[in-house]
Structure 1
Amino acid sequence: MNRAIFLFLSLLSGAVELGGILYAIELGLGLFAIIGIGLAYQLGNLVPNPIRINRALTLLSAAGAAVLLGLAHYQPDTYAYLFAGYALMAVAIQSLRSIQKENVGTTIKRSFRILGFLAAPFTGAAVSAGAALLLAVIAAAVPWTFERAKLIRPKVRFLSWVMIIHQIHYFSYAYFVIILLWQAVPSGSSIWVGIFFVLGWITYTGISHFLRAERYFRYFLGGHLFLSLVLLLMAWQIDNGPLVVALWIATGLGGGTVFCITKINSRYQELSKQDVVFSENIGHVLGVVLGMLLYLATQTISSTVYLAGGSAALAMLLMAAYKRTMNKVETV
């Protein structure tokens, strides 16, 4: 039962995250407001790390999301309902996921997220409100492992910064690329946007299955060099819709080498699992915020893609420095 709930929540997380962006596009909101929905979702993802909440707060979050997203459906001009609704929806989803026994491989989890992305075109505010009510029922029914809310204080080490910068690279441009995919489809079809978005995630998820040898430093460095070059080309050719789609799909081949961070960490035992998740979550929020601020300053989507490419290159350089440090330690 726990496994089934966990996989359902993984699917729902993908559907709501991408669905919120597509819904905002279909409403005709301004670009900054559209990306703001992505920020709302990532702020909600700060639960359960570094903010862990209990059953009561999870129930309140789910109920609040249902009310706010229901209001957003009937009053689409009130942006605050939409923003707060998606933030609380993310809080409820992630809080519930955290208490399930997730004896599930990374590929399976990501596969259900990908299925959620495919369902995203059909997951607007009304459907999300209904899903939030279901989350409230689940929160009331499942066993809870703790009763008190808690602020977690993970460690931040050098390897944490590699993960944070990697996540900044992705989230500084990922929500903007959804708009580029939308523009690349002549009919503006959210279904095709979902399909193109998923293709990028298939390469991202699949690349680890082809990199089997224990050469994780080499994979990460080569993958992020490739990634930064692809992103720089995308930024340069930002108005070439078909090429942007192809390059988006190609980014997964480089970005998917993020799995090497956890493999390298398992060798040196620098970070706990909670430390790694914290680095991911902080990188998500920082990436969206930096992308939004840069867009606000430049009024160009290409600037956010350049930021993504630069961040990928910085993550590569940080990992190279970490490798050099570890090599020195091992030779002492």
Structure 2
Amino acid sequence: MEPTKVQSDGGLNVTLTIRLLMHGKEVGSIIGKKGETVKKMREESGARINISEGNCPERIVTITGPTDTIFKAFAMIAYKFEEDIINSMSNSPATSKPPVTLRLVVPASQCGSLIGKGGSKIKEMRESTGAQVQVAGDMLPNSTERAVTISGTPEAIIQCVKQICVVMLESPPKGATIPYRPKPASTPVIFSGGQAYTIQGQYAIPHPDQLTKLHQLAMQQTPFTPLGQTTPAFPGLDTSPPASTHEITIPNDLIGCIIGRQGTKINEIRQMSGAQIKIANAMEGSSERQITITGSPANISLAQYLINARFRDVAAMWNDPSSMTTS
């Protein structure tokens, strides 16, 4: 019998799934002519490499397998991207070679561990690997995942991915993860009666969206109000009045993380939950703001879950999990 090999990555050899977000051009490079490049990557790394379907500007590339096969697949992708950069530079006057950049998609509940207390973990990763690592402040649309961007030489990227894998294995995701799925186009989606609709002209067209399943679960098949009462009546939509109201109190200095840049986060929570969410103006002398959630009990509970998930991410980053009260 052969002696057990001790791996350079500290003996880690469990099966793991890493998701990458790529632009169409990058995906084309990974697939290669007639799929030859991705076939070679699969065979040589031993990892499963799947590419999301769809005519989207962005695609998800999923790499699954024991950690050593994942590292091999990442190495092949990083070197392929470097080759693309070198080829593109042969036609350009640029003299300095830009770094290779990969974007990982990571459940938001694990991002606090990647950042570490006061940013200590991410700083350590940058210093020990030479790669640049950045965790996006906002979640990707309609998901509970964030983009983690790694850039540098292929060697630095591989070392950095190894460290990220260790953190992800030591700190598994908490709660349910709503995976990010790139959209073909930015048509607005509204929900009614457990079904998603896209607005085309004056009509609401049923839209087979992955969120529909989430809503059917959350709503337990009960109808609910799409995006609050202000939504105009479209044919076939249930616009019955909201059933109840719930209030949450949030400290002033944390309200920004719930609202997001130009209201993106709060609008996302409204869309995903189907609840009306109103944030009261700051009261003079008060350190807190009132959030009023209106809708069916299921709408309200989903909105609360999404607000809490957002709050937990920020609390994990700031290492201050204690300053939210619900009434």
- Normalising by the smaller structure, the TM-score range is under 0.3
- The structure with the greater share of residues assigned to strand is 2
Q: What TM-score comes out, normalization by structure 1 length?
A: 0.25
Larger relative contact order (CA 8 Å, sep ≥ 6): 1
Q: What TM-score comes out, normalization by structure 2 length?
A: 0.25
- The structure with the greater share of residues assigned to helix is 1
